[in-house]
Structure 1
């Protein structure tokens, strides 16, 4: 039929030229039910109309054929259309199908390929209120990688799911391995309208400074020997910006300073931030620093290994 002359396939299906794949499929299914030979036994006009809407769907449901059809108009077939006229698979014995839904399911499968191009493998239409096949899991999974900062503050991502652009809001405080569920954004079962959910597995990238420990944020804070010995106020960076913390005099390396409510976000608030003090030696000492260290050695009042020596003796 396609080779015998130009047909306005959009008009045949009763859809706008801007109709998407879903609208085209719905229109075809409605008309196919209306003109199916089993519904109109002996009606040659209905059978011809059925073949016409099937031909229109075969062309418009195929992205490449539709592109050529829209580009070349009545000459689309010479530009590489169906190449022989007629609808593949239309010379069928309608009587071999148990019911109309079985036929439509088979037809959609032929035109659309496995899953009708929706990402779904398998499927079927309901028959008499009962599934004609075993229940099918239409849920889908995807992995989304986010930076440590995006996980802390929350972010938005635009994903392409079954040729559909989906805006996803990733809330603040997600953790590595967290899952987000997007209802009815999974695989689509052809012809039924059933759609599964989409589960996003979140991969939170590591950070060069911060480490997540429950609701607490941890980091090592480098301090100098004089800051440990004499104490003082030092500037530090937190996820909320720069802050000042007090290092008590005589603090030993390895002690942690706690900043309450400055940690990881959660549903109940925020955890704490823990800064573990580490002794940072300079790459080289100035002459003045070496002189002061020598004075310290001469003036030292305690042997740092005295208690250790007693405890280590066997």
Structure 2
């Protein structure tokens, strides 16, 4: 099932300002919050859909990529699990501090959301890496194994931060819930509010003796080999995201994400223009005059083309479907072959005599047409 347009999800236009986008998300978050709609799967799906849309449109960088490439620009679940569609409820609730000015109203009025067990869960930081791809890899997609230096879960304590199991105890202040509740008398009656426990910072646990390796953090510096499946058709500057592959979070929290920045390695002979490929073919004026069959390089190997007799310099030939694919699409661009007539700089006396005789022939006199188009005009027609 295809995703809905993020602007339609929040009910805003593409020209909406950041404040308008935030206001629209706040309205939907309140309306479809799970604690206000217990057991309503449709409301929960709309709640997650709105959070995913806001996660993209609230970021200038992600919004720009989305406006340019659509859902493909911010990730594809069909290509290794990228994108906002992998947000869980903890990711979504972490946005409320920004939406409601540093205060999550659902912690006060709904007890923090039972789906999270009432405990505050930390999230690890995101990591950014660059991946270089050749045109061939971009054309067919690629699998890359990358060694990433990052924070990983401490194996000694399994991420608890404690020296041993006996060093972990239930927080005496909140009783393990991660929250403290207060009852306040108001003119409307008694009102119960909840806030993060100041003793355990929402974890619900206290550590009496810290792990000797991670010193209580639950994470250590390490290296992990990550397999990245990159879809065909990506372009320079595009970013992909792998959920949960960033830095590990302390005390068994949610790991951050891995952001992959795409870089293109220049090809020796082929140039990229959008999804089209351009190749400069150099011919001698003899071959151009007589015509011939010749092989040219493509992304998929060699292709044989026919040069018609009398071919002029600047002529453009097209190999349909020999360009690059669009992301998550079956459509491919073309390869454009630009004919260049090569003129020798050094001639033997015999060659010079032959050319001197040909110089006087009417067929060797320039005969430009009145409606000849420039190279840039022809290129513009192809790429439009």
Q: Distance in 1 between matches of 2:225 and 2:272?
A: 32
Secondary structure class of the residue paired with 1:296 = helix
1:296 counterpart residue number: 358
Secondary structure class of the residue paired with 2:288 = helix
2:131 counterpart residue number: 144
Q: 1:302 to 1:289 in 2, by over 3 A?
A: closer
Secondary structure class of the residue paired with 2:235 = coil
1:284 counterpart residue number: 346
- Considering only CA atoms, is the larger Rg found in Structure 1 or Structure 2? 1
Q: 1:190 to 1:306 in 2, by over 3 A?
A: closer
- The answer to whether structure 1 residue 164 and structure 2 residue 153 are counterparts is no
1:63 counterpart residue number: none
- The answer to whether structure 1 residue 249 and structure 2 residue 309 are counterparts is yes
Q: Which runs of 4+ in 1 moved over 6 A?
A: 305-308
2:245 counterpart residue number: 185
Q: 1:240 to 1:286 in 2, by over 3 A?
A: farther
Unaligned runs of 5+ in 2: 1-115, 151-222, 371-384
Q: Distance in 2 between matches of 1:296 and 1:280?
A: 18
Per the TM alignment, residue 283 of structure 1 is displaced from its structure 2 partner at its CA by: 4.5
Per the TM alignment, residue 237 of structure 1 is displaced from its structure 2 partner at its CA by: 2.1
Q: Distance in 2 between matches of 1:279 and 1:190?
A: 65
1:237 counterpart residue number: 297
Higher relative contact order (CA 8 A, sep 6+): 2
List aligned pairs for 1:73-112, cutoff 5 A.
Answer: none
Per the TM alignment, residue 231 of structure 1 is displaced from its structure 2 partner at its CA by: 2.4
Q: Distance in 2 between matches of 1:305 and 1:243?
A: 32
Per the TM alignment, residue 254 of structure 1 is displaced from its structure 2 partner at its CA by: 1.0
2:331 counterpart residue number: 269
Q: 1:199 to 1:290 in 2, by over 3 A?
A: same
- The answer to whether structure 1 residue 199 and structure 2 residue 253 are counterparts is no
2:169 counterpart residue number: none
Q: 1:307 to 1:251 in 2, by over 3 A?
A: closer
Per the TM alignment, residue 211 of structure 1 is displaced from its structure 2 partner at its CA by: 0.9
Q: Distance in 2 between matches of 1:307 and 1:261?
A: 31
The count of residues paired between Structure 1 and Structure 2 equals 180
Per the TM alignment, residue 250 of structure 1 is displaced from its structure 2 partner at its CA by: 2.3
Per the TM alignment, residue 201 of structure 1 is displaced from its structure 2 partner at its CA by: 0.2
Q: 1:279 to 1:302 in 2, by over 3 A?
A: closer
Structure holding more helix per residue: 1
Secondary structure class of the residue paired with 1:251 = coil
Residues 121-149 of structure 1: CA deviation (Å, up to 9, x unaligned): xxxxxx983649xx867322111122333
Q: 1:239 to 1:307 in 2, by over 3 A?
A: closer
Per the TM alignment, residue 227 of structure 1 is displaced from its structure 2 partner at its CA by: 2.2
- Give the alignment's Cα RMSD to 1 decimal: 2.8
Secondary structure class of the residue paired with 1:249 = coil
Per the TM alignment, residue 306 of structure 1 is displaced from its structure 2 partner at its CA by: 9.0
Residues 195-228 of structure 1: CA deviation (Å, up to 9, x unaligned): 1211100111111211111111001111110222
